[in-house]
Structure 1
Amino acid sequence: MRVNNKNVFIKIISVVAVFIMFLGINLGFNTKNAYATGNVSIEVSSVEGNIGDIVSVDVRVVPDVDGIIYLSVSYDTNYLEYVSGGANSGVAGLVLDILDGVKPGEGTVTTLNFKLKAAGSTTISVSDNTQAYPVNATDDSPMAVAKTDGTVTINSSSTASGDCFLAGLTIQAVNAKGEKKEVALTPAFSRDVFEYVADAPNDTKSYIVSTTLSDATASSMVTGTKINNGDNKTEIVVTAANGATNTYNVYTTIDTSAVENTEEQKKEEETKEVVDEKLAGIDRSPLFIEDINMYLIQDFSFVSVPNGFKEVATKFRNKDIVALKNEDKGLVLVCLATDARGSNANLYIFTEATNAIDEMVIIKCGDTEYIVMPTDPTYKGPEGYKETTLSINDKKVRAWIKEDGSSFYVVYVMNGAGEVGLYVYDSKEGTMQRFMEDGKGDEDTNLPDEKGKEYQALRKDYNNLNEKYNKNKTITKTYLVVIFILILVIIAIIAVLVYTIKNRRRNRRKDESQNSDKMYIEILDSDEKK
């Protein structure tokens, strides 16, 4: 049997073309399936302690591929008070954390610290909002999350204090204009008296209630601080460490008919009521901060409030507090004192995102004030400068100098316009000017504040990832173009071969037909000769 080599060649070319097309389809259209989705195990440890204890709970995260985990942990605020660890979400009962580049097998552990509030058993859960993604995935498919919740067992402490009394009670009446006036109580305050009548002005819109606890381990809750026309009741509940409670009641009667308000005053009242609703109900009792051994005071009569600052509601370690804020500068201040009575009270800079508290230091240069801002502890200072301390009104602040003995200090401050940056302070002349560092541009990641540093680092990571993505996309496109061209070439070759073969067959038939006619004519001529 004779083998047709041309047919075999065509079949081989066809098989190669199909293979290349299959390869192109896999490279061009199935890139989303290039990585396995993966799985991650998240386990919360269980602990036990007594009321008042601070316990540590470990959240262990172990993926089976390199992963980025957006961790969300929920807890019951009736039993637990968030202290530290992870990232404060600003929402009571929820702690967040972002874990980047978690390695398979080894995993990572996030430690959360809680203060135990009440006896019983409660669960710390991995919330459904938790998401995990493979680092190298090209699609948006999350990893499967296997969750194990932890249990916290809280025992009553036999040594817990039963003191649930107030040592002091002060009430300020606030009118629509924000003006404050201290209110007299009848009878005069005594820790063993639980019922009072307040003599408040008829234009009172709200109360600022300041309490001093007899025992620092107790807590208090104030309700009914919004004052309406008619009879009002303000309630202060004091809870001892062992769970015992006492309730102090303050009764107020307001007759607004005795107050004549202009249209302008009515508008002011409406605006003020919106603000009051946010502040109403916040417990203004001194809050003991154990790790710095100071009290957070929410009565700002102990300090001089800077111009442009107003009272606002915010959160400190998931607890509602009252702070001072300058909206134009975005600066938030809290008041700290060495005891619950407000001794040595001073204003401190409060960073809401991290709950960090730093002493407020003001550098005065003529009529201009500069506020020294907190800096990231890892910041080493401008290039060519070394770290030192600068004494401002007997307070030490972080600064940098070019050489020993210099009177020029580089400090990180906020100016009067709310702009934050490095400035040079001349300690002899008492002047300040903006610091310009040679050779530094906006790409410099060596910034003094954590926020700026994190931004630059994130921007760098993003640029690297974006560059990698664009490079991979270009390579993939190049592969596809090459494969497409090869397919076109092969199709063209096949078409030429098919045309050539058909043409040869047609010519062969034509030659055969001509030969047949010639033979037929020769036969006829032969017959005629015969």
Structure 2
Amino acid sequence: MKKINQIVLTILLGLSLFCFNVTNIKAASASISGGGTVYVGDTVSVTISVSGVKSYTYLVANSGNLTLMSGNTEPMGFSDESNTLTYKVTATGTATVSFSGQVSDGVDDKPVSGSVVFNVISPSNDNGSGSSSSTNTQPEQPKQETPKEEPKETKSSDSSLVSLGVSEGKLSPEFKAGTTSYKLNLPEGTKSINVSAKAKDGKASVSGTGKIEVKDGDNAINVTVTAEDGSTTVYTIKAYVQEKAVATLTMGDKKLNVFTNVKGAAIDNKAFEKTKIKINNTEVPAWKSETQNITLLYLNGDDGNNFYIYDEKTQKVTSIYKPVGVLGQNLIIVNVPANLQTRSNMKFTTIEVDKVKFPGWTFEDESFKDFAIIYALDQNGKEVYYQYDSKEKTLQRFSNAAAISQEKYDAYVKEKENKEQTLMYVIYGLGAGCVVCLGLAGYFFFHGRKPKVKHKKVDIEKEDYENRFHIEEEDE
């Protein structure tokens, strides 16, 4: 009996110990605390706590306006503990810190999540309240002074020029701050030039100016502008120094230099073929067109380098040859031959068409003050005349006939009719006069003749003769 009682007591003791352990098992959980109204520049904390767990995992994220300063956003552990995250408040608005993960009590796994919200206001705003989605909230943080940030020094990035000049020649195109590439033609014998430049910003520096040495042919001159912040802009001058001329030709009073180096010279016309001809026993580049029977030389004059028409027989330059495009027409500027320069009721001069100058004529008649005639060659090398309307800005083929106003035309017609009528009267008068003259001539011819006198032979005595003769002598 005693043994049975011991067995029962042992069983009861075991059952009591089991029940005690079961009642002491805690359910696994996790929570987050924090949130409320805060100010820009504050430092705030969020605490994530776990309890009754054997293991857990979770991930933390924020919605912006917060910068993490300390704390682990991805902790993992096997006992009850808490994790505090510290943030710097960076901007006004609403900031949310949330977590999600899984906890385990050793038997069951349970998902957990939570979040807190911060209402961020500026330091000058004393109103506002924060809110939290969790049951545990952090008391409102006291207002803190926002440290004043020192203003950052801003450096200028302006690396442009307000002027760029050279002591010799002329820049092409004219200087503009936004244009960084220029051309410069220098005369033969140039050894150096002075380059001047001024930066727009007084804090910017300029290099590459002053006395610059140059050589015959191509030269590259770089002017560099360095802004205050270190950024740079390079202005390039492509200077070409003319080589020594091998010959000099003339066209009127204009002197043209001949060179063996014509780098960059090209003509956009398939009718021409590049070749060489001899001038002063020196071979120089030339362009010939068999179809147009034209020889061109690339010569240098006071107005720079241009193509000119060269007569190989007379060994003279006869005209400039300058292809241009104006108002939809592809024309070639040439000089007008002397025998064509004089036109009735017109004045030989220079006509500007679409900023291009042509030789041509203006009308003396005021009725045609808006019109002019220009002379040029077409792409086939044939001479053409165009009438230019300066008011409408148009070109039209000119028939080469004289142009007169309607008033002058009417006066011309009337004058012509009067002349014709006068001429008829003169003709009629001359005809009548001729008839009268013929009549008079006939009358005098037939009625103006003297009758013939028949002489009779008479014998005169000698005495009578002497007496008559004597008498005549006394009379004398």
TM-score (norm 2): 0.28
Greater relative contact order (CA < 8 Å, ≥ 6 in sequence) = 1
- Structure with the higher fraction of residues in strand conformation: 2
- Structure with the higher fraction of residues in helix conformation: 1
TM-score (norm 1): 0.26
